[in-house]
Amino acid sequence: MALVDVDSWSTEYESCSRLSHALLDKLNHRDRCQNPSLEYNRLTSSIKVGLKQFDNELQQLKSKLNDAVLEGAITFEESERRQRQVATLQSQRQQIQKKYIDNCSAVAQSGMGVTAFSGIRSSGRTADDDFGDAENDSDVAPIIDTSDVEALKQHQIAILEQQNHGLDILSQTISRQRALATQLGQEVEDQNEILDNLAVTMERVETGVGHETHNITLVNRTDNKTWCYWLVIIVLFIAIVIVALI
């Protein structure tokens, strides 16, 4: 890894965690609203969009975690920690889904009770009229708050900008590492060249020492032969002197 560990996991996890808390707050707020109402429909639509966004971010976290594990980019301990974080987000997702379904079921049961009570009081209404009203209620389209959609878009843009910033830092770090590696390679080449020159010099010195040793050996051999000649000369000289005296 580079000198600076640029990892968007923590940022994306915090973003997904904040989104889950925001969805729970909206569900609690929707429970306090009257149904049907514009505020209730607005919150319902916002929650649906938020759930889709939450699922997408959670899937991205899972995918990045799998890639990091396969590539060996994180340690085993870090992998275990991130898996626990993903499990926490999945548990929050189930909690949101259960609360959303329970609320819808309670609203449906409440609506059935109100319809039955209204049918008892409104004796002038026919069964066909009640069925027509039920059809009209079911056809009411949820109102999507453009401000929430825009906020989600801005949230996505902010995440992308953070990722791009992290990638820029990573690219700069890689460039510095590459320049450092190039410089280190050049220094290694220089050191190798110095070692080669030193080896050549040592070889020359060794050759010169061997040559001089050979010359010294020859001189020693010559000296060993010379003392024999001197010994013969001295013996002859002594013999001449003795003969002359006789």
pTM: 0.42
33 falls within a domain: yes
Segment 29-58 mean pLDDT: 85
174 falls within a domain: no
Say yes or no to pLDDT of 74 above 80: yes
Segment 45-53 mean pLDDT: 87
197 falls within a domain: no
In the three-class reduction of DSSP (H, G, I as helix; E, B as strand; rest coil), residue 59 is classed as helix
What is the tally of helices (H) and strands (E) in the chain?
Answer: 5, 0
Among 9-23, 60-74, 111-125, 156-170, whose mean pLDDT is lowest? 111-125
What's the domain range around 75? 9-144
Say yes or no to pLDDT of 7 above 60: yes
Domain holding 19: CATH number? 1.20.58
pLDDT value at residue 18: 92
Among 31-35, 108-112, 179-183, whose mean pLDDT is lowest? 108-112
- Alpha-carbon distance of 141 to 123, in angstroms, equals 30
Q: State how many domains the chain has.
A: 1
In the three-class reduction of DSSP (H, G, I as helix; E, B as strand; rest coil), residue 73 is classed as coil
pLDDT value at residue 125: 45
Among 55-59, 85-89, 104-108, 153-157, whose mean pLDDT is lowest? 104-108
pLDDT band for 1, please (50, 70, 90 cuts).
very low
65 falls within a domain: yes
Return the H-helix or E-strand segment holding 50: helix 38-71
* Best CA proximity match to 98, nearest among 27, 13, 18, 21: 27
Residue with tokens 């010359």: 215
pLDDT value at residue 220: 64
pLDDT value at residue 33: 82
What's the distance, CA 62 to chain centroid? 13
Segment 103-123 mean pLDDT: 48
pLDDT value at residue 129: 45
163 falls within a domain: no
In the three-class reduction of DSSP (H, G, I as helix; E, B as strand; rest coil), residue 74 is classed as coil
Say yes or no to pLDDT of 212 above 60: yes
243 falls within a domain: no
49 falls within a domain: yes
Cβ-proximal residues to 243 (8 Å cutoff; 6+ apart), any chain: none
14 falls within a domain: yes
pLDDT value at residue 105: 59
Tell me which of 85 and 156 has the higher pLDDT. 85
Say yes or no to pLDDT of 3 above 50: no
